[in-house]
Amino acid sequence: MKGKKSNALQLVKLCCQALDEKKAVDLQVLDVSEQSSITDYLVVATGTSEPHLRALRVELEKAIDASKNRIVGMETAQESGWIVVDVFDVMVHLFTPDTRAKYGLENLWKDAVEVSVPKLLGVVAKPKKKTVAAKRKKAAK
């Protein structure tokens, strides 16, 4: 089981990298392995428009194909504002902003564990700059 989950997490990382490179917005990953019998991870991202959604889907397909993983299914109803790419252990949902807000998919999976996208992408968080008030408070001590 652990090897399967590790492979799925590598696929999640690959999907996030592909989406991030194409400027997906509000990228989120949910570990739903405890709540779902059909997939382990949900990747949710927003595209700024229908053409951007299509570009995200194409980039995602290229990355998945290059990794020798198989796309099980895809739902791409034109102008729906929602594209689903099923890679078995990972399901990717791409939305336009209005459609994402309308369906609130993340709210349906409140019990899921959120996976840190910056950690997946290897992005180091910048240290927070101290505000003037914080500096004064520290100096007063």
Confidence label for 140 from pLDDT (cuts 50, 70 and 90)? low
What integer pLDDT is reported at residue 120 of this predicted model?
85
How far apart CA 57 and CA 45 sit, in angstroms, is: 11
For residue range 22-64, what is the model confidence (pLDDT) as tens digits?
999 999 999 999 999 999 999 999 999 999 999 999 999 999 9
Query: Can you give the pTM of this predicted structure?
Result: 0.82
Number of folded domains that form the chain: 1
Kindly give, in sequence order, each residue whose CB lies less than 8 Å from that of residue 17, ignoring residues fewer than 6 positions away.
63, 121
Confidence label for 121 from pLDDT (cuts 50, 70 and 90)? confident
* Average pLDDT over all residues of the chain: 86
How far apart CA 91 and CA 25 sit, in angstroms, is: 17
**Residue 106's domain spans which residues?**
2-140
Lowest mean pLDDT among 6-15, 30-39, 49-58, 124-133: 124-133
What integer pLDDT is reported at residue 141 of this predicted model?
59
Q: Is the pLDDT of residue 133 over 70?
A: no
Amino acid (one-letter) located at 137: K
Specify the CATH number for the domain of residue 106. 3.30.460.10
**H or E element in which residue 74 lies:** strand 73-75
